[in-house]
Amino acid sequence: MKNISLNIDKVLGTVSKEQIYALETQINESNTLLEDGTGEGNDFLGWLHLPSSITEEQLADIEYTANSLRAKCEVIVVIGIGGSYLGTKAVVEALSNSFDWLQADRKNPVILYAGHNIGEDYLYELTEYLKGKQFGLINISKSGTTTEPAIAFRLLKKQLEESVGKEGAKQRIVAVTDASKGALRKLADQEGYKTFIIPDNVGGRFSVLTPVGLLPIAIAGINIRDLVAGAVSMEKTTGIDVPMSKNISALYAATRNALYQNGKKIEILANFHPKLHYIGEWWKQLFGESEGKEHKGIFNASVDFTTDLHSMGQWIQEGERTIFETVISVEKPDHSLVIPTDEANLDGLNFLAGKRVDEVNKMAELGTQLAHVDGEVPNIKISIPEVSAYYIGQLFYFFERACGLSGYVLGVNPFNQPGVEAYKKNMFALLNKPGYEKESQAIKSRL
């Protein structure tokens, strides 16, 4: 079976192979830090060999629970924020029929999300939509006290209990949380919810291959065994024993750092396949939260082509030359659709008649690459044979491994996120949360 592949040829006008391979020693040292667990953030390396450590018993338990919820529910609300929902949404959006949720005879529950914002209108409209629906909840939180998901769960738990009673709700709520501590663990034990564990040593943005992602992905009807198998294959091909020239995670990490050192401070992840939009959203969190520290780090942005060529395309082509582009290219779409002939030909497109839509898309991709490289935008290309669970599993692990390596080369701890706490302290003080009285007085004096 083929693997995803990496091509860095179109960056070589900006940086040389010598500059990229000058980082090989640092890449090897970073790989050793990962494998030996001797680098910063080593208490969050559970993702490193997670794919190959997932057992048959764990997969069977997840599938059994998924089938149980599928039998009871027409809607599943996944409650979580950051890595607790982005990985799931990325996989589900990539591998589901784009219009399945509109079909009355769909086979799988509709997957919705809550707890990823504090939008009152969003939550109100969600609760209105759920009225009269058979729905269930997957609440994902290590602590159970993170503000956004805790508010959503409080509201939706109340609605579910009012709809089907406490006993009925117990059969439709699953908690994915800490093994032994935290508010959600305590509540789950008290109420008798089915639970899955978020490993202590796996951070949220690396958690898609834990029950955090695997349970809702299975409920959506996606083969989680294929997803895991793809990640296992990439774990093997990006290991410490694979030289950088053949290790695509290592080569990607080295290339983006060489570009960064050469003044390319912004990385744009582009795709020409609309279903990959949320892959870009997950990727932004993975690298942004991992590397943006100590006033260092590449700024991450993502675009959907060709759509964004009609908006951001101008800036990418002719704006400040501080950017480089990483393109996810899908070799083969799932379906075939041929452009018909039109006798009047008023749109002038008969020269495309008989061609598949994907052929036009591929030429748009190639034309864009040439234009952007001519416009001094270095291009990295990641090729995926097809959008399937196996290759999405490969892609996720490829990026995760590259992120760990890249962060260490950059000289930061890739596995913490201290800056994320700043807004929370201010918010709690402004809301007069107990214990924040001193901060409240200080902040209010500034308003």
State the catalytic residues: 289, 310, 424
Q: Do residues 381 and 327 lie in contact, with contact meaning Cβ atoms separated by under 8 Å?
A: yes
Q: Which two tokens stand for residue 61?
A: 């338990």
70-102: burial string, b at 16+ Cβ within 10 Å, e else: bebbebbbbbbbbbbbbbbbbbbbbbbeeeeee
Q: What is 266-326 written as a DSSP string?
A: EEEEEES-GGGHHHHHHHHHHHHHHH--TT---EEEEEETTGGGGTTHHHHHHS-S-EEEE
Q: Do residues 201 and 42 lie in contact, with contact meaning Cβ atoms separated by under 8 Å?
A: no
Q: What is the C-alpha separation between 67 and 350, in angstroms, rounded? A: 48
Calculate the dihedral angle through the C-alpha atoms of 284, 59, 218, 73, rounding to the nearest 10 degrees: -130
155-174: burial string, b at 16+ Cβ within 10 Å, e else: bbbebbbebbeeeebbbbbb
Which amino acid does the sequence have at 284? Answer: K
Where does 377-416 have alpha helices with state H? 389-410
HSE value, Cβ hemisphere, 13 Å, CA-based, for 92:
26
Residue 373's closest CA among 327, 305, 304, 310?
Answer: 327
Q: Angle 211-219/86-95 helices, nearest 10 degrees?
A: 30
How far apart, in Å, do the first and last CA atoms of the chain sit?
A: 60
Distances (CA, A) of 156 to 32, 66, 195, 414: 45, 19, 18, 34
HSE value, Cβ hemisphere, 13 Å, CA-based, for 217:
32
Q: What stretch of H or E contains 175?
A: strand 173-177
Strand partners, 381: 7, 327
| Triad 143, 144, 150: Cα angle to 5° | 140
